[in-house]
Amino acid sequence: MKFFIDTASLKDIQEAQDLGVLDGVTTNPSLMAKEGIGGEENVKNHYKAICEIVDGDVSAEVISTDFEGIVREGEELVKLDDQIVVKVPMIKDGIKAIKYFSERGIRTNCTLVFSAGQALLAAKAGATYVSPFIGRLDDISTDGLQLIQDIRDIYDNYGYTTEILAASVRHPMHILECAKIGADVMTGPLSAILALLKHPLTDNGLAQFLADHAKVNG
């Protein structure tokens, strides 16, 4: 399972990279705004800075919602670095743009996916990644993980190569359940990745080992 970090924070990206388990980064306009990154040149420079930290794919989201605008923005974004994947919203013009990009070898991440039908469309259009938002579905009392399972089943039925990128991950159990289902990728905050480390028996066991070692070694 690939681990992406869902942030535009260079500090968090560097920390996850230093841990040695990071496979890529996803961003969105809200995450960029949270870091105070605005203005076309600043945004482009920030994507370049992210690409310098990580080795893997970096999703950069378009702002346009019309076909021509999405294509224009996407073609500009991929010039920044080979690692850039164009993040396109699940709307009619977005699907048309994903098809356009896939025919030209430009990689895409279809975002804001909340149903299996949307994921099927994204795969048919040739999206590289599909991003179902599991946390936001859970927020409205809908089973986000069931959506991951449904998409897995559908893609496996037909051999679609679009990778399932479980997004809007909020906590370590989301990651574990996605791994059990067979999501190809998960993207979440640094806190969810670091939470995988923690177990009280590990902490207690280590404290005991160190205390016992100290008894005979001073």
87 is catalytic: yes
To the nearest whole angstrom, how small is the minimum distance from the Cβ of residue 34 to ligand G3P? 10
Residue 9 CA to residue 31 CA, distance in Å, equals 8
Residue 94 CA to residue 5 CA, distance in Å, equals 24
Return the residue of 57, 132, 168, 193 that touches ligand G3P, per CB under 6 A: 168
Return the residue of 122, 167, 190, 192 that touches ligand G3P, per CB under 6 A: 167
**Residue 129 φ/ψ, nearest 5 degrees:** -125, 150
Which span sits near ligand G3P by CB under 6 A: 41-49, 50-58, 131-139, 200-208? 131-139
Which span sits near ligand G3P by CB under 6 A: 16-24, 99-107, 128-136, 206-214? 128-136
Is 133 one of the binding residues for ligand G3P (CB under 6 A)? yes
How far is CA 142 from each of CA 135, 145, 150, 182, 199, rounded to the nearest angstrom? Answer: 9, 9, 13, 20, 29
The site map against ligand G3P for 8-27 (x = CB under 6 A) is ------------------x-
- The nearer residue to ligand G3P, 74 or 189, going by C-beta atoms, is 189
Residue 87 CA to residue 201 CA, distance in Å, equals 41
How far is CA 98 from each of CA 47, 108, 206, rounded to the nearest angstrom? Answer: 20, 7, 50
To the nearest whole angstrom, how small is the minimum distance from the Cβ of residue 187 to ligand G3P? 5
Is 177 one of the binding residues for ligand G3P (CB under 6 A)? no
Residue 182 CA to residue 48 CA, distance in Å, equals 31
Annotated catalytic residue, options 87, 124, 198, 215 = 87
Is 187 one of the binding residues for ligand G3P (CB under 6 A)? yes
How far is CA 143 from each of CA 133, 134, 146, rounded to the nearest angstrom? Answer: 11, 8, 5
Residue 18 CA to residue 54 CA, distance in Å, equals 10
- Contacts with ligand G3P by CB under 6 A lie at 6, 26, 28, 133, 135-136, 167-168, 187
- Please give the positions annotated as active site: 87
